[in-house]
Amino acid sequence: MMFETWWLLVLPLVFGLGWMAARLDLRQLISEQGALPRSYFKGLNFLLNEQPDQAIDAFVEVARLDPETTELHFALGALFRRRGETERAIRVHQNLATRPDLPEPEREHALYELGQDFLRAGLLDRAEESLRRLMSGPYAASAKRVLLELYEVEKEWQKAIDAARELQTLEQKDYRVQIAQFCCELAQDALQKKRPEDAVAWLRRASEENPANVRAPILLGDVAMASGDARAALGHWLGIETQDAAYLPLVADRVVKAYGTLGEQGQAIDWLRGLLKGNLAPELLDTAYRTELDVNGPEAAAALMREQLRRQPTLLALTRYFEAQAAEMQAAEAAVAEGAAVATAGGEAVAPDQTSEVAAIRDLLQVRTRNLARYTCRECGFRARLFYWQCPGCNRWETYAPRRSEALG
The pLDDT value recorded for residue 361 is: 66
Given this model, what pLDDT does residue 271 score?
93
Residues 220 and 285 in one domain: no
Residue 321 domain-assigned? yes
For the chain, the maximum distance between any two Cα atoms, rounded to a whole number of angstroms, is: 131
* End-of-domain residue from the set 141, 169, 197: 169
Instruction: Look at 5-19, 174-188, 228-242, 294-308 and tell me which has the smallest mean pLDDT.
Output: 5-19
Kindly state whether residues 396 and 356 are assigned to the same domain: no
User: CA-CA distance, 285 to 372, in Å (whole number)?
Assistant: 15
Picking from 140, 169, 198, the residue at the C-terminal end of a domain is 169
* Residue from 160, 233, 128, 171 nearest 397 by CA: 160
In a shared domain, residues 187 and 150: no
Q: Examine residue 42 and state whether it is found in any structural domain, yes or no.
A: no
- CA dihedral sign of residues 247, 249, 253, 256: positive
**One-letter amino acid identity for 282?**
P
- For residues 361 and 306, membership in a common domain is answered with yes
**Do 74 and 165 sit in the same domain of this protein?**
yes
Q: What percent of the chain clears pLDDT 90, i.e. is strictly above it?
A: 27
Helices (H), 155-175: 157-171
Tens digit of pLDDT for each residue in 377-398? 888 888 888 888 988 888 899 8
pLDDT of residue 183: 96
Q: Is there a single domain that holds both residue 352 and residue 271?
A: yes
Q: CA-to-CA distance for 47 and 70, rounded, in angstroms?
A: 20
Residues 164 and 183 grouped into a single domain: no
pLDDT score at 114: 85
* pLDDT of amino acid 151: 92
Does 313 lie in the same domain as 362?
A: yes
Least confident of 61-75, 224-238, 285-299: 61-75
The pLDDT of residue 57: 57
Confidence of residue 343 (pLDDT cuts 50, 70, 90): very low
Write down the pLDDT at residue 180.
96
Quickly list DSSP for 331-373. Answer: HHHHHHHTTSS--EETTEEPPHHHHHHHHHHHHHHHHHHHTS-
Instruction: Examine the domain organization and report whether 76 and 165 are in the same domain.
Output: yes
380 marked ligand binding residue: yes
What is the pLDDT, as a whole number, of residue 254? 96
- pLDDT for res 220: 97
Q: Please give the mean pLDDT across all residues of the chain.
A: 77
pLDDT band at 92 (very low <50, low <70, confident <90, very high): confident
User: Do both 313 and 362 map to the same domain?
Assistant: yes
Closest CA to 215 of 387, 362, 58: 387
Tell me, yes or no, whether 394 and 350 share the same domain: no
Total domains in the chain come to: 4
Q: Is pLDDT above 80 for 281?
A: no
Ranges 105-109, 159-163, 201-205, 212-216: which has the least confidence = 105-109
Assess whether pLDDT exceeds 60 at residue 6: no
Residue 278 contacts residue 287 (beta carbons within 8 Å): no
Task: Give the pLDDT confidence of 180-204 residue by residue, as tens digits.
Answer: 999 999 999 999 999 999 999 999 9
Cα separation, 258 vs 228, whole angstroms:
10
Query: 301, 270 in Cβ contact below 8 A?
Result: no
Give pLDDT, residue 232: 96
By residue range, what is the domain housing residue 185? 174-244
Residue 375 is classified by DSSP as E
Q: Which residues does residue 390 pair with via DSSP β-bridges, in sequence order?
A: 397
At 139 the three-state DSSP class reads coil
184 is in an annotated binding site: no
Neighbours of 203 (CB within 10 A): 28
Q: How far apart are CA 51 and CA 42, in angstroms?
A: 11
pLDDT at 52: 56
pLDDT of residue 277: 82
Note whether 272 and 356 are same-domain residues.
Answer: yes
Confirm whether 273 is domain-assigned. Answer: yes
Entry field: residues in the chain: 409
Domain boundary among 148, 169, 190: 169
Single pTM value for the model: 0.72
For residue 81, what is the domain's CATH number? 1.25.40.10
Write the Ramachandran bin of 36: left for phi over 0, alpha for psi from -120 to 50, otherwise beta: beta
Please report which confidence band the pLDDT of residue 213 belongs to, taking 50, 70 and 90 as the band edges: very high
Convert the pLDDT of each residue in 291-339 to its tens digit.
988 998 888 888 888 888 888 887 777 778 777 777 777 776 666 666 5
**Does 183 appear as a known binding residue?**
no
Neighbours of 232 (CB within 10 A): 16
Q: Look at residue 45 and tell me whether its pLDDT is greater than 80.
A: no
